[in-house]
């Protein structure tokens, strides 16, 4: 197989096709510390794209309670088990030797492409029908198990570790090296040059389900009535700017724009010919991923270079998080817990507007208070952050110090 460079793992990996990159890449950042599992994102997607007969069990966006929730059930545990079986004890990271091209260290294990069985292009499995039936099994539940039928009816039990959970919102990662693209014998899934969105050509798809089996995130889903596979389309008409609400400017996807918890920020980043992100310190997503380093790829060791990044939850045991987000977790949590002035300002941009932000500017404000977090003293300044769309027009302006509106007494206890 050809070799491609994957900067998440700091080295080359096998891939079915020669290395090629889009001009721009659709990227999202999810702040897990803020998700409340309201499922507004899930329903925004469902009511837009997957409401038809035959799509009943199809959730392009889902929010699962980790560690036990999952859609399809147990998707990550089963993939990790497959990998462990194929490469026992070998999934480790080495300290970074290559500077900026390996920001999280060098992965010393094997990716799903390197572990592919001889007749395939990626290691994977096809979930069973019951795995797709119930996206919310184990919501808010600390009981152990992979959610096979019969297990969850037994009722609650506490596991052997201190109880904790967090909500993990998931969409297709529009990967740089998509396993769905690699696996298909019909070349039905493809990656767009203009924005890196991965689509499945419905006319080419013959329903072989190779993409379903290969995608380690299980975001390619089979539709029985059309006998084709479908997946998140990144709301590409909105990304292209065809929604009248933004007057021709690129717009965030439905799940992003609907987020109640303001955990999501989506944008388009420029990609150099060698696959690296073009240096752009005025872009909020570039700054969060490459400068502030608070947002990390999910399961980077799978090797697909996913383009959804997560700010990890502060309260979850670190070994679990290091397995899910790689060795950058400790630094990311430290930086998020004690944010720089710049980071605190940029975090205000999450869900401030549905128009994609291509550039931010910070206007410094007055000091408003001293705070102590985890024993560290910090000063808080009421800085203002301004977001600009692709054309350079201001689309949002928001300050660090949120205004509090006190409801007048005459409206108390009224709806
Ligand atoms: S997350 Fe899965 S379906 Fe989406 S691009 Fe990556 S491999 Fe393909
Ligand atoms: S809308 Fe936002 S806060 Fe609500 S579940 Fe989805 S990601 Fe979480």
What value does the mean pLDDT take over residues 287-314? 98
358-387: average pLDDT: 95
Same domain, 289 and 382: no
80 CB within 6 A, ligand 2: no
The CA 203 to ligand 2 mean position distance, Å, reads 33
**Considering every ligand atom, which ligand is closest to the CA of 64?**
2
Domain co-membership, 166 together with 203 = yes
Does residue 414 have a pLDDT over 80?
Answer: no
Does pLDDT of 158 surpass 80?
no
Query: Could you identify the atom of ligand 1 that is nearest to the CA of residue 306?
Result: 6
Ligand 1 contacts CB of residue 175 (under 6 A): yes
Do 264 and 364 fall within a single domain?
A: no
Provide the percentage of residues in the chain whose pLDDT is more than 70: 93
Q: What is the pLDDT of residues 331-349, one digit of tens each?
A: 999 999 999 999 999 999 9
DSSP 346-381: HHTTTTS-SBPP-EEEEE---EEEEEEETTEEEEEE
Comparing CA positions, the residue from 257, 250, 279, 260 lying closest to residue 356 is 250
The model's pTM: 0.94
What digits encode the pLDDT tens for the residues 104-152? 999 999 999 999 999 899 999 999 999 999 898 888 876 655 555 555 5
Give yes or no for residue 256 CB within 6 A of ligand 1. Answer: no
What 3-state DSSP class applies to 319?
A: helix
Are residues 247 and 382 both part of a single domain? no
Q: Are residues 242 and 377 in the same domain?
A: no
Counted domains in the chain: 2
Q: Could you tell me the distance, in angstroms and rounded to a whole number, from the CA of residue 263 to the centre of ligand 2?
A: 7
Q: Which range of residues forms the domain containing residue 361? A: 342-399
Specify the residue with its C-alpha closest to ligand 2, atom 1: 259
Sorting pLDDT into bands at 50, 70 and 90, what band is 376? confident
Q: Which atom of ligand 2 is nearest to the CA of 42?
A: 6
Residue 262 CA, closest ligand 2 atom number:
2
From the CA of 261, give the closest atom in ligand 2.
3
Residue 85 sits in a domain whose CATH number is 3.30.70.20
| 229, 255: one domain | yes
Read off the pLDDT of residues 171-198 as tens digits, 9 standing for 90 and up: 999 999 999 999 999 999 999 999 999 9
Place of tokens 């206890």: 413
Closest ligand to 297 CA? Answer: 1
Three-class DSSP category at 313 = coil
> What is the tens place of the pLDDT at every residue in 59-108?
999 999 998 899 999 999 999 999 999 999 999 999 876 555 788 999 99
Rounded to the nearest angstrom, the distance between the alpha carbon of 267 and the centre of ligand 1 is 18
Ligand nearest to the CA of 303: 1
Same domain, 239 and 353: no
pLDDT value, residue 415: 60
Q: Is residue 415 part of a domain?
A: no
Q: Please tell me the predicted confidence (pLDDT) of residue 163.
A: 76
Asked if 303 and 353 sit in the same domain, the reply is no
- Of the candidates 227, 191, 222, 186, the one whose C-alpha atom is nearest the C-alpha of residue 204 is 186
- Nearest ligand, CA 212: 1
Closest by CA to 167, choosing from 40, 297, 63, 294, is: 63
Q: Looking at the structure, tell me whether residues 185 and 53 fall in a common domain.
A: yes
* Whether residue 352 sits in one domain with residue 287: no
Nearest CA to 264 out of 352, 379, 332, 136 is that of 352
Q: 29: which 2 tokens? A: 């950042």
Ligand 2 atom 4: the closest Cα is on which residue? 38
Whether residue 407 lies inside any domain: the answer is no
Q: Tell me what pLDDT residue 316 has.
A: 94
Check: CB of residue 182 under 8 Å from CB of residue 4: no
Closest ligand 2 atom to 258 CA: 1
Q: Per-residue pLDDT tens for 222-246? A: 999 999 999 999 999 999 999 888 8
Residue 154 pLDDT > 60: no
Does any ligand 1 atom lie closer than 6 A to the CB of residue 28?
no
Distance in Å, CA 305 to ligand 1 centroid: 10
Atom 5, ligand 1: which residue's CA is nearest?
174
């Amino acid at each position: 197989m050809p070799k491609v460079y994957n900067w998440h793992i700091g080295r080359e990996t096998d891939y079915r096709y020669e290395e090629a990159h889009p001009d721009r890449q659709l990227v999202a950042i999810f702040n897990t510390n803020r998700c409340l599992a309201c499922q507004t994102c899930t329903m925004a997607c469902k009511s837009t794209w997957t409401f038809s007969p035959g799509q009943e069990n199809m959730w392009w966006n889902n929010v699962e309670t980790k560690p036990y929730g999952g859609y399809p059930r147990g998707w990550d545990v089963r993939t990790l088990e497959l990998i462990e079986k194929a490469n026992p004890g070998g999934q480790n990271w080495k300290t970074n030797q290559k500077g900026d091209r390996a920001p999280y260290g060098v992965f010393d294990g094997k990716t799903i492409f390197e572990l592919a069985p001889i007749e395939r292009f990626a290691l994977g499995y096809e979930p069973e029908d019951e795995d797709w039936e119930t996206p919310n099994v184990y919501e808010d539940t600390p009981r152990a198990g992979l959610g096979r039928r019969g297990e969850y009816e037994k009722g609650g039990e506490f596991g052997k570790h201190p109880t904790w959970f967090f909500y993990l919102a998931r969409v297709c990662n529009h990967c740089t090296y998509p396993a769905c693209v690699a696996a298909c014998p019909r070349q039905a899934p493809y990656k767009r040059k203009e924005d890196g969105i991965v689509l499945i050509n419905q006319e080419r798809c013959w329903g072989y389900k190779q993409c379903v089996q290969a995608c380690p995130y299980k975001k390619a889903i089979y539709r029985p009535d059309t006998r084709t596979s479908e997946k998140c389309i990144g709301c590409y008409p909105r990304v292209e700017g065809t929604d009248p609400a933004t007057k021709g400017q690129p717009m965030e996807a439905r799940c992003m724009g609907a987020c109640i918890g303001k955990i999501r920020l989506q944008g388009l980043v420029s990609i150099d010919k060698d696959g690296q992100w073009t240096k752009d310190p005025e872009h909020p997503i570039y700054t969060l991923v490459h400068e502030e380093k608070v947002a990390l790829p999910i399961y980077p060791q799978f090797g697909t270079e996913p383009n959804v990044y997560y700010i990890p939850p502060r309260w979850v045991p670190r070994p679990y998080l290091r397995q899910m987000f790689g060795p950058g977790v400790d630094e990311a949590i430290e930086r998020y817990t004690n944010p720089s002035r710049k980071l605190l300002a940029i975090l205000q941009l999450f869900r401030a507007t549905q128009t994609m932000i291509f550039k931010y500017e910070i206007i410094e404000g007055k000091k408003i208070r001293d705070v102590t977090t985890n024993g560290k003293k910090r000063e808080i300044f009421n800085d203002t952050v301004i977001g600009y769309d692709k054309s350079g027009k201001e689309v949002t302006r928001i300050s660090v110090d949120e205004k509090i509106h006190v409801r007048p007494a005459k409206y108390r206890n009224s709806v």
